[in-house]
Chains A and B, each alone.
Chain A
């Protein structure tokens, strides 16, 4: 069970904002790290929408997560520029290191790995984002170091 008081507090903050559902979803995701399914009915009620409509919005945006993410989120660019600079090989390496596929979260809840299509930093391809911090010109060799750096090790 999630903390519904917390959910209500977030939802109440946005419910009178016109077209506030997107803002609200961001708020909920920020509070819980994902959009718990228990909050869908509450948001539908607050914005006077159907739960199907809320679901339609959540499922449209890949950035809204419906399950808890790993403690660390690794996002790796799969777009053309990064691919031409070796992101395919890098992706394979990252999968090996984290022992998960794109779109998955590791069993211990430590890592999530996501595909991204362009960070807008093509001049310095390939790009990887670790916990919100963008790293440019990442190679198979320095990825693990970057990952550890993030751990504060």
Chain B
């Protein structure tokens, strides 16, 4: 497991707004774990990280690994966008919001790898598939049953 200090964690994510409420999420990424906040009292999942459960106001927040399975809820193709290592826009870059199987309405936004853009459709099932960007693992998704 990754046991970086807070200072070391911040160095791994320059320019990202990391604080004590969301640092577990970013530590999880470095361990190739997608940790989503879950309430220790009522079991409600929520994202992005917050210091309170929006459903029962418990402060017992537990960043918890999800299965990584879900389906595409929102889908766009960027023909231009921010520069990032390994991201080229000559082939449009897909960005998808995945509705995670753990709870209706619980969503996580990333990219989809391993398929032609023409194969991507809202509603299709996906699963987590980690990629590397610079020195950091990034949680991406692939169509269920696709290789990579």
Say whether A and B bind each other. no
Interface residues of A (CB under 8 A from B): none
Interface residues of B (CB under 8 A from A): none
